[in-house]
């Protein structure tokens, strides 16, 4: 892989689609982070897959920033030829987090979105099969990975 | 799990989680006669909330729960978290510690692949002796672990900044002896399993996962390499001593269940070479860089990646300046491969009798996928 491929990629994305990108940086070699705008997130995902070759989905998850009143959704993506890890992020409000489902772009995000949905309460619009992945079917205890989660267990 | 709808003229068979071959998961098979139309995995039976547990532990204490993720491969999983802590705290392990880490990780990989062979032989209805052979051969590795670390399975041997003990006296000789014995045994496994006509019939051409599908569905580890894609974190982003060790990334092009098994076979050969190289060439020097017991990391984030026996494990750790991580996101390889498994029935024709063979060729570890 040529040196500085990460930097070149970031420059290409931000110059071609400045309206979709909020912030882009190289965290360290082989780790690139893009914070996307919530509007047009699906378009950016499509561009990353079709134009920049991020064909290999790795995972997805979220982080709850209680003090800043936001949840950051993170998609982990890999380009099979340049081999660096892209974390594609988008900030969502804590009270009503919703996002179009990335299963339209990367089918394999299905399991990861199901998990994130039950753990953080994010609503993925257009997910084909939104049922709990890991928690019991009768779980009514709230969203376990949110920072204000208290209490435990399923209620009958 | 609320079950998806069943199409007309299709029967739904529920398999597991208490079936000896299914592991701790339930698989729903939509079948029409012998043919499987759809596979649905119902995960979560071993969900322990490790990601949440980690938020309430100091960095050091987190190593213990995370090793419970994959019991046959604790070394690689533990190392991934230790590497994340090291990067967050800005410390580096000395060279000798890195070599010891690589050796233990390769031993754990062999241990895990041996377990996979045994199960694959069972799944193929092939004589159950093979499972016992692999169990006995794993003893060699477990004894070496015990000698070095004091524990056979979950040894918490890696610490931020290095390893907790040096190699005991004569350990290198024991390792070389063990490697010689295992090499001899693998030649026998190859004849008994891979070249065996019955085993070939059960595995060859079963559940073909084409190259582009493997990429698109996010497969990882031997499943990805069995489809001809040459991706391995050990070579792409060398950690521990992998930058100095000689090894090849194994790929197979047939993309079927046999190809995935062959990848594991050849990977063991590479691992044995690496273990031998470490035993012969390990450099001297200190074992640990000092790290305070209750260290605080600067606010920020770290994403560490490690190639475990099942594929790429990623740990994304967020820190907020406290003694505990703020959030730990674990990108588990088994969860990725389980999604591939769900789709396999649509990509290739699978019969009911093939399902155990297929799931063991994927080699998921449910404690890993459920976390």
- Strand pairing report for B26-32 and B11-15: antiparallel
Residue A1: pLDDT over 50 = no
Mean pLDDT of chain B: 87
Size of interface A-B (CB pairs under 8 A): 90
Print the domain residue range for B144: 11-370
For chain B, the first-to-last Cα distance in angstroms comes to 17
Q: Is the pLDDT of residue B126 over 80?
A: no
Measure B153 CA to nearest chain A CA, in Å: 26
The listed CATH number (3.50.40.10, 3.40.630.30, 3.30.460.80, 3.90.1150.10) that belongs to domain A5-125: 3.30.460.80
Question: Looking at the complex, does the CB of residue B329 fall below 8 Å from at least one CB of chain A?
Answer: yes
For chain A, give every domain's residue range.
5-125
Q: Is residue B190 part of a domain?
A: yes
What residues contact residue B355 under an 8 Å CB cut-off, 6+ apart?
B15, B27, B29, B36, B39
Helix (H, G, I), strand (E, B) or coil at B105: helix
pLDDT of residue B197: 84
Instruction: Report pLDDT for A116.
Output: 92
Name the minimum distance, in Å, from the CA of B218 to any CA of chain A. Answer: 5
Residue B28 is assigned to a structural domain of this protein:
yes
DSSP A88-100: EEEEEESSS-EEE
The least confident of B71-85, B114-128, B160-174, B294-308 is: B114-128
Residues contacting residue B51 through CB under 8 Å, at least 6 positions apart: A145, B327, B328, B329, B330, B371
Of A55, A56, A76, Cβ closest to residue B314: A76
Find residues 4-43 of chain A whose CB sits inside 8 Å of chain B: 27, 30-31
User: Which residue of B1, B44, B219, B366 to mutate against A (max A Cβ within 10 Å)?
Assistant: B44
Instruction: Establish if B370 touches chain A: CB-CB under 8 angstroms.
Output: yes
Q: Which chain A residue's Cα is nearest to B302?
A: A27
Residue B176 has pLDDT above 50, yes or no: yes
Q: How far is Cα B81 from Cα B361, in angstroms, rounded to an integer?
A: 27
Q: What is the pLDDT of residues A29-85, one digit of tens each?
A: 888 899 988 888 888 888 888 888 888 999 999 999 988 889 999 999 988 888 888
Is B125 touching A (CB cutoff 8 A)? no
Q: How far is B48 from chain A, CA to nearest CA, in Å?
A: 9
Q: For residues B322-331, give the mean pLDDT.
A: 90
Report the range of poorest mean pLDDT among A91-100, B12-21, B134-143.
B12-21
Of A31, A64, A108, the CB nearest to B339: A108
Q: Is residue B4 part of a domain?
A: no
- B329, B332, B334, B346: best mutation site toward chain A, by most A Cβ within 10 Å? B329
Domain with residue B191: its CATH number is 1.10.645.10
Q: Is the pLDDT of residue B326 over 60?
A: yes
Contact A135, B44 (CB under 8 A): yes
Q: Is residue B1 part of a domain?
A: no
Is B133 within a domain?
Answer: yes
Alpha helices in B90-236 (DSSP H): 95-123, 129-149, 171-189, 197-203, 211-216, 222-226, 233-236
Residue B253 lies in a domain: yes
Nearest to B229 among A74, A80, A85 (CB): A80
Task: For A135-150, write each residue's pLDDT tens digit.
Answer: 888 887 788 888 888 7
Whether residue B3 is contained in a domain is answered as no
A42 contacts: CB under 8 Å, gap ≥ 6: A100, A102, A104, A105
Mean pLDDT of all residues in chain A?
85
What pLDDT score was predicted for residue A156? 40
| pLDDT over 70 (residue B173) | yes
pTM comes to 0.89
Q: Which residues 236-255 of chain B have a CB within 8 Å of chain A?
A: 236-237
Number of domains into which chain B is organized: 1
**B343 vs B208: CA distance, rounded Å:** 11
Contact A61 B236 (CB under 8 A): no
Look at B217 and A108 and tell me if their CB atoms are within 8 Å: yes
Of A55, A64, A131, the CB nearest to B2: A131
Confidence of residue A154 (pLDDT cuts 50, 70, 90): very low
User: Span B347-356, mean pLDDT?
Assistant: 86
Residues of A in contact with B84 (CB under 8 A): none
Contact status of B338 with chain A (Cβ, < 8 Å): yes
Is A107's CB within 8 Å of B217's CB? yes
| pLDDT per position as a tens digit, B74-113 | 899 999 999 999 988 888 889 899 999 999 999 999 999 9
Percent of chain A with pLDDT over 70: 94
Q: How far is B128 from chain A (nearest CA, A)?
A: 33
Q: Give the residue from chain A lying closest to B50, CA to CA.
A: A145
Give me the pLDDT at residue A153, please.
52
User: Does the beta-carbon distance from B4 to A129 stay under 8 Å?
Assistant: yes
B223 to chain A, any CB pair closer than 8 A? The answer is: no
Tens digit of pLDDT for each residue in B7-54?
778 888 888 788 877 778 888 888 888 888 888 888 888 888 899 888
């Amino acid at each position: 892989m040529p040196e500085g491929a990460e930097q070149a990629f970031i420059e290409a994305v931000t110059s071609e689609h400045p309206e979709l990108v909020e912030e882009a940086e190289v965290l360290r070699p082989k780790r690139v982070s893009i914070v996307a705008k919530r509007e047009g997130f699906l378009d950016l995902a499509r561009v990353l897959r079709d134009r920049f070759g991020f064909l290999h989905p790795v995972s997805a998850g979220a982080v709850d920033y209680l003090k800043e009143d936001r949840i950051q959704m993170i998609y982990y993506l890999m380009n099979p030829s340049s081999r660096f890890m892209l974390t594609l992020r988008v900030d969502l409000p804590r009270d009503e987090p919703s996002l179009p489902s990335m299963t339209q772009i990367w089918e394999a995000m299905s399991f990861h979105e199901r998990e994130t949905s039950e753990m953080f309460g994010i609503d993925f619009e257009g997910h084909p099969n939104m049922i709990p992945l890991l928690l019991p079917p009768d779980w009514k205890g709230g969203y376990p990975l949110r920072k204000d989660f208290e209490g435990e267990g399923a209620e009958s | 799990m609320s079950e998806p709808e069943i199409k007309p003229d299709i029967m739904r068979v529920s398999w597991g989680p208490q079936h000896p071959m299914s592991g701790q998961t339930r698989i729903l098979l939509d079948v029409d006669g012998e043919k499987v139309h759809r596979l649905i995995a119902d995960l979560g039976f071993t969900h322990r909330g490790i990601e949440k547990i980690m938020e309430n532990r100091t960095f050091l204490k987190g190593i213990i729960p995370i090793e419970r993720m994959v019991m046959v491969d604790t070394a690689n999983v533990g190392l991934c978290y230790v590497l994340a802590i090291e990067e967050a705290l800005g410390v580096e392990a000395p060279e000798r510690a890195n070599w010891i880490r690589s050796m233990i990780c390769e031993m754990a990989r062999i241990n895990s692949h041996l377990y996979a062979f045994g199960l694959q032989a069972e799944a193929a209805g092939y004589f159950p002796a093979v499972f016992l052979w692999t169990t006995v051969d794993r003893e060699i590795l477990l004894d070496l672990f015990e000698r070095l670390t004091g524990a056979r399975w979950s040894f918490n041997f890696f610490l931020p900044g290095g390893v907790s003990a040096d190699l005991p006296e004569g350990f290198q000789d024991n390792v070389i002896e063990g490697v010689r014995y295992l090499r001899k045994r693998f030649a026998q496994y190859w004849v008994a399993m891979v070249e065996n006509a019955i085993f070939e019939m059960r595995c060859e051409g079963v559940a073909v996962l084409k190259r582009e599908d493997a990429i698109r569905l996010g497969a990882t580890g031997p499943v990805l390499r069995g489809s001809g894609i040459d991706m391995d974190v050990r070579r792409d982003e060398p950690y521990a001593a992998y930058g100095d060790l000689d090894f090849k990334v194994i790929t197979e092009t047939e993309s079927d269940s046999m190809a995935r098994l062959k990848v594991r076979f050849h990977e063991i050969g590479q691992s044995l070479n690496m273990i031998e190289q470490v035993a012969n060439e390990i450099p001297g020097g200190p074992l640990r860089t000092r790290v305070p017991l209750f260290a605080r990391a600067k606010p920020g984030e770290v994403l560490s990646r490690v190639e475990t026996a099942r594929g790429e494990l990623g740990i994304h750790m967020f820190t907020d300046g406290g003694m505990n991580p703020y959030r730990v996101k674990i990108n588990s390889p088994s969860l990725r491969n389980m999604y591939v498994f769900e789709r396999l029935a649509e990509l290739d024709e699978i019969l009911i009798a093939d399902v155990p063979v297929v799931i063991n060729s994927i080699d998921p570890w449910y404690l890993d996928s459920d976390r």
